[in-house]
């Protein structure tokens, strides 16, 4: 097919239609944009997560590049092994990618991830963050934000919604001195593909934190996936930035819309009172001010 | 030594692309494109989670065999030329 001049991201597709992702799935888009950036000669290793079931029932597969299954906690161990095997065979041109959900990264897979980052394994680790264990039925994870409803943090008389803040995986990865770490969002595909290409050129352990809305888990209309992703950036709940050798650059500042615009689209935040929303707003503003301050003073 | 990358199966014990799964059967609403209003901006193609939209000279052609009817294309279209219609109606 001829390349139409107006497409702002590569036209080549590395995924087949017919995956079992829910309508409006953000994780499908994360994989689509990731592979558009990396291109051919890539291997993805995937633990238990939504993407492990995406290829569908036997005998189908939905990617045009090899996809390896590994145990829930072993994504980074698996990518280390694949990298070592390819290096022994002299196939250093193949890009190895670990592709795990937020639960498989910030909770279950954290020790293997820390090990691979510390060894500076030459690979890319992508965490697609849908902010809970969505595949098993919306249980809270370390990456679920404060105030969110999940099936294990139910809302009712007990007011048991999640009371702990979201675990900041980017700060954990930064503490490992990784040469490249970036946040990307499905609402900004050009920025996404650009960062993935940049990550591909760096050697060592690279980490990408991808924002991936989940319509069933977030209790929202599937057609709002991109709108919510864009509002997350505009409200500065999920700022887009990259850390290259310790230097932080904010790549998309966002318009600074009130967080209530972002929260109101999702049923998982429907129970929050005005005081709760004000509390979230203060937290977001403080975190973004600190980030801007840091971006202004590069090492 | 033989190259190993080409020898790796796309997914263990699989043989068919996922195009054998006709996910269009899940759909409740289907997208209808008003081609006269289309500005060929390709945004619908860019944001389709299932890559069911093909661009033919910049104009979207939606594969209803696989479209799950999420409606992202209708929500994102700046020219508002895509509307979602309930299956069996319209």
Question: Nearest-5° angle of CA B60, CA A191, CA A248?
Answer: 170
- B26 CB neighbours in chain A (<8 A) are 23
Distance between CA atoms of A261 and A274, rounded to whole angstroms?
13
Domains and CATH numbers, chain B: 23-86 (3.30.70.20)
Binned at pLDDT 50, 70 and 90, residue B11 comes out as: confident
Of B1, B16, B71, the CB nearest to A222: B71
User: Is the Cβ–Cβ distance between A233 and A187 less than 8 Å?
Assistant: yes
pLDDT band at A233 (very low <50, low <70, confident <90, very high): very high
Confidence category of residue A229, pLDDT binned at 50, 70, 90: very high
ipTM computed for the complex: 0.94
Instruction: Provide the 8-state DSSP code for A15.
Output: B
A19/B14 CB distance under 8 A = no
Which residues neighbour B65 within 8 Å (Cβ) at sequence distance 6 or greater?
Answer: A17, B22, B24
- Per-residue pLDDT at A157 exceeds 80: no
Q: Tell me: pLDDT of A49 over 90.
A: yes
**Residues of chain B with C-beta less than 8 angstroms from the C-beta of A61:** 10-11, 14, 16-18
8 Å CB contact between A187 and A226: yes
Which position has the higher pLDDT, B48 or B14?
B48
Element housing A3 (H / E)? none
**Banded pLDDT at B6 (limits 50, 70, 90):** confident
Given a cut of 60, whether residue A3 has pLDDT beyond it is no
User: Using CA atoms in the order A273, A275, A281, A287, what is the torsion angle rounded to 10 degrees?
Assistant: -120
Per-residue model confidence (pLDDT) at position A126: 97
Comparing B73 with A157, the larger pLDDT belongs to: B73
Residue in B1, B40, B49 nearest the CB of A89: B1
Nearest by CB to A61, from B10, B45, B50: name it: B10
**By three-state DSSP, how is residue A85 classified?**
helix
Q: Which residues of chain B make contact with A57, given a CB cutoff of 8 A? A: 21
Interface contacts (A, B; CB < 8 Å): 155
Confidence of residue A273 (pLDDT cuts 50, 70, 90): very high
The nearest CA of chain A is from the CA of B87 a distance in Å of 15
How far is the C-alpha of A49 from the C-alpha of A130, rounded, in Å?
Answer: 11
Percent of chain A with pLDDT over 90: 91
Q: Which residues lie below 8 Å from residue A42, measured CB to CB, with a gap of 6+? A: A35, A65, A94, A95, A96, A97
* Domains delineated in chain A: 26-296 (3.40.50.970)
**Is B14–A60 a contact, with Cβ atoms under 8 angstroms apart?**
yes
CA distance A164 to chain B (A): 31
């Amino acid at each position: 097919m001829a390349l139409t001049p107006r497409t702002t991201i590569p036209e080549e597709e590395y995924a087949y239609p017919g995956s079992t992702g829910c309508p409006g799935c953000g994780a499908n888009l994360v994989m689509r944009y990731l592979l558009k950036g990396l291109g051919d000669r890539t291997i993805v290793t995937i633990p238990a997560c939504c993407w492990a079931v995406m290829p569908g029932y036997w005998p189908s597969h939905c990617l045009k590049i090899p996809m390896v299954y590994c145990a829930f906690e072993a994504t980074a161990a698996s990518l280390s092994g694949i990298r070592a095997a390819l290096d022994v065979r002299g196939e250093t041109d193949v890009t190895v990618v670990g592709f795990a959900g937020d639960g498989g990264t910030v909770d279950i897979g954290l020790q293997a991830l820390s090990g691979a980052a510390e060894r500076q394994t030459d690979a890319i680790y992508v965490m697609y963050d849908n902010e809970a264990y969505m595949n098993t039925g919306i249980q809270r994870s370390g990456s679920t934000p404060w105030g969110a409803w999940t099936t294990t943090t139910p809302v009712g008389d007990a007011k048991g919604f999640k009371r702990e803040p979201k675990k900041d995986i980017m700060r954990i990865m930064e503490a490992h001195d990784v040469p490249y770490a970036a946040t990307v969002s499905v609402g900004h595909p050009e920025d996404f593909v650009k960062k993935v290409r940049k990550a591909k050129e760096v050697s060592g352990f690279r980490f990408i934190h991808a924002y991936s809305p989940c319509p069933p888990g977030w209790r929202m209309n599937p057609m709002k996936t991109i709108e919510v992703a864009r509002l997350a950036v505009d409200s500065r709940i999920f700022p887009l930035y990259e850390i290259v050798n310790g230097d932080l650059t904010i790549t998309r500042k966002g318009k600074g819309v009130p967080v209530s615009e972002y929260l109101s689209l999702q049923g998982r935040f429907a129970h929050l009172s005005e005081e709760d929303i004000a509390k979230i707003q203060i937290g977001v503003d403080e975190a973004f001010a600190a980030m801007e301050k840091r971006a202004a003073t590069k090492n | 030594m033989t190259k190993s990358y080409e020898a790796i199966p796309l997914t263990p014990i699989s043989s068919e692309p996922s195009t054998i799964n006709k996910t269009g059967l899940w759909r409740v609403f289907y997208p209808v494109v008003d081609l006269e209003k289309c500005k060929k901006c390709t945004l619908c193609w860019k944001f389709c989670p299932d890559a069911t939209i093909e661009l033919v000279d910049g104009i979207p052609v939606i594969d209803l065999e696989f479209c799950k009817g999420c409606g992202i294309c209708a929500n994102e279209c700046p020219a508002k030329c895509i509307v979602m219609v309930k299956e069996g109606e319209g």
